[in-house]
Structure 1
Amino acid sequence: MNPDHEHRDRKPSDDSISIATIESSMSSDSSTTDNTSPSASSRNSLSSREQTTDWTSIYVATSVGFVGAVQYSLYFASLWPYLQTIDPTASENFFGLIIATYSLAQMFASPIVGTWSNKIRSSVPPLQMGLVLMIVGNMIYFFAPVLPLPMTKKYVLLIARAIGGFGSANVSLLKAYASTASTGGDRSKAIAYVTGGIAMGLTMGPAFQLFFTPLGTSGIFIATNVVINTYTAPALAGIAMNVFGMVLVKKYFVEKHIGVPHKKDMEKYGKLPPYDRVAISVCYVTRFCQMFIVTNLESIGTPLAMTMFAWDRLTVVRNVAVAQALQSFCALMTYVIYIKFDLGKKINSKRALYFAIGGFIVFHLVTYSWPFLGGQLVVFNSLDILAANGTELAGCNTDHFNWCHSLTPVNVWLFYGSYVLVVGVCLSSFNIALNTLFSKIIGPRPQAAQQGWLQVSGGAAKFAGPLVISGLYTEFGPRWAWNIEIVLIVSTLVMWLILSNRMVPLRMPEAFAAYQDPNDPDLVKKSKKTKTVVPV
């Protein structure tokens, strides 16, 4: 058995330590070595086995994380018009249900995938299985108009997205791998790579629609009711990316877990202290808040733009894709700067989170449909639709929404400008800071289970968010959707401020100091007068 993997069977409940045991062991070591302190002896012993981070595998994990995450957002710009095209009976609520089902499947599968990975002591089979399931989901999505299933087409799309959601649960394994496959000094950068890949997949998904928009709705004819067009091409792109991911995992992904103590070290020096479960719970709630906001912005973004800005289907697909592309560029630049200048060694994660949460609050206040803005929406009703004789009408349908006349439109440039700049930068900062601090709170131990539950909290938000927000949007308009999100963001910020002293990395015994960066900005600060290291 590979000694690098022997630690992966340990359960969180075993993560207790007897300090006396460590001190006794260290004292025993020092008694046999002249002029060597116990802590120095243990550090030297552990450091002598320290390896370097395998960046090739980190890059592969980043790429596969991108592939898995992009499956979620790849369809946001085109799913709603595609759904209306193949099944006109589908409503905005059912659209929200389709998006939520993907997240529910991911939420259900994430703990199973983590348990499976720990049991077999490998991430590769779960990763490959997830990629296969996403391929199947994309194939069903593409052939939805012609599949001979005893149900309406909207339910076919629902099944397709559910299968894709099951497959995407493998993303949590990649974040756990980045935490355990890197040295203490490289951990923040490794996590930034993988979380950056995942975040870029989430944000760039709709931007890929730019490549498919020229196909139009007529597209390339394959067979009766089988067309490669602006609505179905994303499924083919998803299949291609999943195949690419399988090749990367097969040929270049090598599992190394150098960021956790070996079993023999644990036997010699004792076990790691337990992590702060309250702090971890705060991270779970924060992840829920983050994904609730992001999912809602993306899920109602297309219907909101069609209603508020009077864009037709093709226009909204193109414009939303452009906005997502620009936002993705801002997010990418944030990650590049973070990695290039190794900001994980310079910026405190809590302060980065405060900045990101504050940015989300600013975005919602700037894009809120304030009554004093003035102006009115473009409106139409069922009689106008009949008179149009098949021509698509754009705006707010007064027979469908009773708030069309009371809602004041937000300036389109202000809305998408803040969406691109504020959300683009803050979302990246949020992802890096939360995932980095989450890993440090747990400490140098296997994290697949905890990462799985972090994925569950995000999946719960992606499931509940579209259902709640699409319902509020349909009944009351976007104002109440914004109200709920503002309350959630502010509550999360208050929670962090109250529990700030507990949101710190695991305090490591001297025996395992080699697994933690002594200059970690989340852990220590240096006094200019005494040059001593004190906890923050």
Structure 2
Amino acid sequence: MGGTLGKGGSWVVDHSMDEIPLSVSIGKSDLRHGSIASVSSSDPPPYDEITTSLYETPKQKRARKRSHLVAYTTMFVMSIGFSIVLSGVWPFLQKLDSTLEKDSLGLIVAANPLGQMVASPLMGLWGNKAGKIRFACLSTVTFFICGNVMYSLLYAFQDAGGRVSYWAMFVSRFIVGVSSANVTLCRSYLAGSTTLKERTSGIAIIAAAQSLGFVVGPGIQAVMTILVPGETYTAGGWIIWDKFTACGWVAAALGLINFVILTPWVFQEFNIAEKERALMQQRRGTDKDIKLPKPDYLPVVGILFSFFVSIFIFVLLETLAEPFVSDQYGWEEDKCMIVVGVSLSVGGLIAFGIFPMSGVLSKKFDERKVMLYPGYIPLMLGTFLLIPFAGKDIPIAVCYNTTTTMEPTTFSTESYDMADYRNQGILPYSDEDGETCTLGCPESQEWCNDVNQLPLPQLAIGYLIVMFGYPLVQSLNMAIFSKMLGPKPQGLWMGVLTAVGSLARVLGPLFVSAVYTMLGTVWTFSILFVGMVLAFIELHLLYRRLVPMNLEEIQGHDGPAGKEKY
């Protein structure tokens, strides 16, 4: 309690400091209203409790929690921007340019994560230098809106000749990818605006928001397909409203809403990390800036590797799903799209439900153990179950030249009974050369003749097990990574983390074409399983170093940080 001179020179009592203890070395029993705490108490309250009680009023805490909701919403909208076009991008490409082959799809799919990978470290550095994320986020959301509007106007490039419309789509998706680099800013902001006690739950929620966006995006495309079956021409015919462009306009509208909630009237920034450093200065009785230790780089790199591996398995399953079931079971295209779409949505919902569990479990158990055992073990087990060990033969696509003969033109040394294929539900289709072919693994993939079909129940069980472990690994990887960096601006490091995840999303389609197409399922999932095992082993070896930066006994020199000695 103190006082100031008011009007007329009167002494006015100031009660604004009544709730703030005069010493940080205080016991819980001394926290009385207006009391002067004893400096010599030997039972100080926990560090995290001191931080919040010293620096945050209930009103400020509510505003800080509201700012977290804005960060969660931004992550949700950015992930929708990536996923909303996934199921429609190939038919849209064919409509823009019917001469395009399927191998042209990979670059378009990779454009978004490529833009994010390039921009993420730069956005993180921008956030660090500025000390605030608002302007950087507003800039990226503007890119998001422009990229989706450009996607909706691609018909305007259709008559330009060459492959102008193709490259226009690439640019539009790349711009949206650049905009999604603001997930780096959201993660770094959350790391700086949460206490150690809150951080794991906060990062789990932000990961869940991103996962929910991946579920909602394809759903919007499905709804637009039903609601907008035809085409509507406006503005001289170059603005066309259909099921493809509608998704771009919906995404742009969501971006506009996101822009509004990032304005100062809704979004206020808070930095608990700065207050933590000020607290440490008080505890040491000095006004000099405390030099935090450097992060322990070896476990930081270890976390980055495990983060890459866990995202890679998810991206590979997402990318490989449709061609995999088409090859393995000889299903028609519509059936593949429906089954894969439903499966990915179910997996996304499972992940959305489990992400928050990481925060709950980490409050009861060591979060490193939660990451390794309920997290990595299901990932390894699920990946192992995707390796075919026994089963029926994979159906091979057999083509007939309907203009000359009805005898098989493929694998002429063997006899094929078309009735058998029809009885199995593997119906013939006609290709561009006038041949009629059964569905199944194409002749170019020679490994299909030597590898067993993966039983469908085994595939379903393996996929579900992976989706139970993936959310725990993802959220706790990010939480431990953030805690190891300590109370310092984390924009650049979060940019590196996001870039590593983007690299996995870029390499996923390339891995499918290079390894799966040439070598098959056994090699593909065996390599993934080995990667998971290596990540599990290296995290076990680094276990004692996967700890938060030691904020209780800062020594003021560089070196490995952590409460545990190793």
> Same fold per TM (> 0.5)?
yes
| Aligned length, in residue pairs | 483
Q: In structure 2, what is the equivalent of residue 202 of structure 1?
A: 214
Matches of 2:50 and 2:511, distance apart in 1: 55
Q: In structure 2, what is the equivalent of residue 96 of structure 1?
A: 106
Change (3 A) 1:229 1:391: farther
Contact 2:400–2:436 (8 Å) recurs in 1: no
Instruction: Using the TM superposition, give the Cα deviation of residue 40 of structure 1 relative to its aligned residue in structure 2, in angstroms.
Output: 4.8
Paired AA for residue 266 in structure 2: Y
Q: In structure 2, what is the equivalent of residue 128 of structure 1?
A: 138
Q: List per-residue Cα deviations over 1:130-160 (Å, max 9, x = no partner).
A: 2222222223333334415554243332222
Higher helix share: 1
Q: In structure 2, what is the equivalent of residue 423 of structure 1?
A: 466
Unaligned runs of 5+ in 1: 1-24, 27-32, 513-522, 525-533
Matches of 1:452 and 1:245, distance apart in 2: 21
Q: In structure 2, what is the equivalent of residue 255 of structure 1?
A: 269
* SS of equivalent residue, structure 2 residue 272: coil
Instruction: Using the TM superposition, give the Cα deviation of residue 108 of structure 1 relative to its aligned residue in structure 2, in angstroms.
Output: 0.9
Matches of 2:240 and 2:522, distance apart in 1: 38
1:358 is the counterpart of 2:377:
yes
Contact 1:220–1:228 (8 Å) recurs in 2: yes
Q: List per-residue Cα deviations over 1:25-60 (Å, max 9, x = no partner).
A: 99xxxxxx9752699599698665332472111111
1:280 is the counterpart of 2:300:
yes
Question: Which of 468, 483, 489 does residue 526 from structure 2 map onto?
Answer: 483
1:246 is the counterpart of 2:259:
yes
Q: List per-residue Cα deviations over 1:402-429 (Å, max 9, x = no partner).
A: 444444333345424542x323322211
Change (3 A) 1:60 1:239: same
* SS of equivalent residue, structure 1 residue 261: helix
What does 1:278-357 align with in structure 2 at a 5 Å threshold?
A: 278-338=298-358, 342-354=360-372, 355-357=374-376
Contact 2:399–2:438 (8 Å) recurs in 1: no
Contact 1:210–1:321 (8 Å) recurs in 2: no
Q: How high is the sequence identity, in percent, across the aligned residues? A: 23
Q: In structure 2, what is the equivalent of residue 374 of structure 1?
A: 392
Deviates more, 1:166-175 or 1:235-244: 235-244
What does 1:170-209 align with in structure 2 at a 5 Å threshold?
A: 170-209=182-221
Question: Which of 75, 79, 82 does residue 69 from structure 1 map onto?
Answer: 79
Deviates more, 1:135-144 or 1:207-216: 207-216
Deviates more, 1:108-117 or 1:52-61: 52-61
Matches of 2:489 and 2:42, distance apart in 1: 26
Instruction: Using the TM superposition, give the Cα deviation of residue 535 of structure 1 relative to its aligned residue in structure 2, in angstroms.
Output: 7.5
Matches of 1:231 and 1:393, distance apart in 2: 30
Instruction: Using the TM superposition, give the Cα deviation of residue 222 of structure 1 relative to its aligned residue in structure 2, in angstroms.
Output: 3.4
Paired AA for residue 486 in structure 2: G
Matches of 2:289 and 2:397, distance apart in 1: 72
Instruction: Using the TM superposition, give the Cα deviation of residue 176 of structure 1 relative to its aligned residue in structure 2, in angstroms.
Output: 1.0
Instruction: Using the TM superposition, give the Cα deviation of residue 89 of structure 1 relative to its aligned residue in structure 2, in angstroms.
Output: 4.4
Paired AA for residue 191 in structure 1: I
Question: Which of 442, 447, 451 does residue 398 from structure 1 map onto?
Answer: 442
Instruction: Using the TM superposition, give the Cα deviation of residue 431 of structure 1 relative to its aligned residue in structure 2, in angstroms.
Output: 1.9
Contact 1:80–1:302 (8 Å) recurs in 2: no
Q: List per-residue Cα deviations over 1:476-519 (Å, max 9, x = no partner).
A: 3343322322221111111111221211111223479xxxxxxx
Q: List per-residue Cα deviations over 1:415-461 (Å, max 9, x = no partner).
A: 24542x32332221122211111111112222111101111111222
Change (3 A) 1:472 1:154: farther
Instruction: Using the TM superposition, give the Cα deviation of residue 262 of structure 1 relative to its aligned residue in structure 2, in angstroms.
Output: 6.1
Instruction: Using the TM superposition, give the Cα deviation of residue 346 of structure 1 relative to its aligned residue in structure 2, in angstroms.
Output: 1.5
Matches of 2:504 and 2:74, distance apart in 1: 23
Question: Which of 544, 555, 559 does residue 501 from structure 1 map onto?
Answer: 544
What does 1:1-150 align with in structure 2 at a 5 Å threshold?
A: 36=40, 40=44, 49-51=54-56, 52=61, 54-147=64-157, 148-149=159-160
Q: List per-residue Cα deviations over 1:321-341 (Å, max 9, x = no partner).
A: 2112211221222135456xx
Paired AA for residue 179 in structure 1: A
Contact 1:106–1:169 (8 Å) recurs in 2: yes
RMSD: 3.5
Return the TM-score normalized by structure 1: 0.79
1:169 is the counterpart of 2:188:
no
* SS of equivalent residue, structure 2 residue 233: strand
Question: Which of 267, 271, 279 does residue 291 from structure 2 map onto?
Answer: 271
Matches of 2:325 and 2:367, distance apart in 1: 34
Unaligned runs of 5+ in 2: 1-23, 26-36, 282-286, 403-428, 556-561
Question: Which of 232, 242, 247 does residue 234 from structure 1 map onto?
Answer: 247
Matches of 1:494 and 1:344, distance apart in 2: 21
Matches of 1:228 and 1:197, distance apart in 2: 29
Matches of 1:42 and 1:324, distance apart in 2: 43
Matches of 1:477 and 1:233, distance apart in 2: 38
Matches of 1:203 and 1:300, distance apart in 2: 17
Deviates more, 1:267-276 or 1:158-167: 267-276
* SS of equivalent residue, structure 1 residue 49: helix
Contact 2:196–2:483 (8 Å) recurs in 1: no
1:410 is the counterpart of 2:454:
yes
Matches of 2:533 and 2:553, distance apart in 1: 38
Matches of 2:525 and 2:314, distance apart in 1: 12
Contact 1:442–1:506 (8 Å) recurs in 2: yes
Q: List per-residue Cα deviations over 1:380-406 (Å, max 9, x = no partner).
A: 448475579999977336355444444
Matches of 2:218 and 2:466, distance apart in 1: 15
Change (3 A) 1:275 1:394: farther
Contact 1:382–1:399 (8 Å) recurs in 2: no
Paired AA for residue 121 in structure 2: P
1:222 is the counterpart of 2:233:
yes
Contact 1:138–1:164 (8 Å) recurs in 2: yes
Instruction: Using the TM superposition, give the Cα deviation of residue 106 of structure 1 relative to its aligned residue in structure 2, in angstroms.
Output: 0.9
Deviates more, 1:489-498 or 1:398-407: 398-407
Question: Which of 467, 470, 476 does residue 433 from structure 1 map onto?
Answer: 476
Matches of 1:312 and 1:140, distance apart in 2: 33
